[in-house]
């Protein structure tokens, strides 16, 4: 089974700064079946990105995703107050939905 | 508006059983794969199981195989998770989610399952 390792575990940044989150897979992720989710306290997760680099409906363009194979990145170009949350990457497919352990983006 | 409402959670003793339900509305239920995802208190997300549109394919995470059974009733716009032989490590908030395979576009608010004596 593919294991997803997210780094860093937490990130302390100020509003307006750039956030770069990493997700590394233990083996190549086929067809870039890699997604990112955002979760705020007390809320269910929200889909941000799929196919590694496609934004989900309604996601602002300050969010971008990149990568292929085993190395993927979620970038938030300029952090807004509502972006402070936990972010999870996920390898999705027919019979797998493995998540990484998450990166918490905190206000500095 | 897509709505997914989970129910059936509660406190159960180790070895016990629970049946979770997910009531769906606002979309053509029978056209989507449906999933269960759980989150232990203060922990990350764990995909649990999914079921194909017509129920012909079902998949599970290894830790629940043989104990949990996913099912759906398209006429009732509902999905279920029968959980048997529950363990302390099954304690979590269980989310119902719809999407493409295990790509999860819409989520419910979750129902809490606590396994404790």
CA–chain centroid gap for A66, Å, is 10
Q: Which residues of chain B have pLDDT under 50?
A: none
pLDDT of A32 > 80? The answer is: no
pLDDT at A96: 81
Q: Which residues of B touch A98 (CB under 8 A)?
A: 47
Let me know the angle formed at the C-alpha of B23 by B19 and B92, rounded to the nearest 5 degrees.
Answer: 45
Output the CA–CA distances (angstroms, integers) from residue A42 to A45, A58, B45, B93, in the order listed.
10, 21, 13, 11
Contacts of B64 in chain A (CB under 8 A): none
Pull the structure tokens for residue B36.
């269960």
- A63-68 and A71-76 strand pairing: antiparallel
CB proximity B2 to A under 8 Å: no
Residue A1 has pLDDT above 90, yes or no: no
Determine the pLDDT at residue A31. 64
Task: For residue B39, give both structure tokens.
Answer: 């989150």
Q: Alpha-carbon distance A94 to A108, whole Å? A: 39
């Amino acid at each position: 089974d593919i294991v997803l390792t997210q780094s860093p575990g937490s990130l302390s940044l100020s509003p307006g700064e750039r956030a770069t989150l990493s997700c590394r897979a233990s083996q190549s992720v086929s067809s870039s079946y890699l997604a990112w989710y955002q979760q705020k306290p007390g809320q269910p997760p929200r889909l941000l990105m799929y196919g590694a680099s496609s934004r989900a409906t309604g996601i602002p363009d300050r969010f971008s995703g990149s990568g292929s194979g085993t190395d993927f990145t979620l970038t938030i170009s300029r952090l807004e107050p509502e972006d402070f949350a936990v972010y999870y990457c996920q390898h999705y497919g027919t019979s797998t939905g493995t998540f990484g352990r998450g990166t918490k983006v905190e206000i500095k | 508006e897509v709505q997914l409402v989970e129910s059936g959670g509660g406190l159960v003793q180790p070895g016990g059983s629970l049946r979770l339900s997910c009531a769906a509305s606002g979309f053509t239920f029978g056209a989507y794969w449906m999933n269960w995802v759980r989150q232990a208190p203060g922990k990350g997300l764990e995909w649990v199981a999914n079921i194909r549109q017509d129920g012909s394919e079902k998949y599970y995470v290894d830790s629940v195989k043989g104990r949990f059974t996913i099912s759906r009733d398209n006429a009732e716009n509902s999905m279920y998770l029968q959980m048997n032989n529950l363990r302390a490590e099954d304690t979590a908030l269980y989310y119902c989610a719809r999407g493409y395979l295990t790509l999860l576009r819409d989520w419910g608010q979750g129902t809490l399952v606590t396994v404790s004596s």
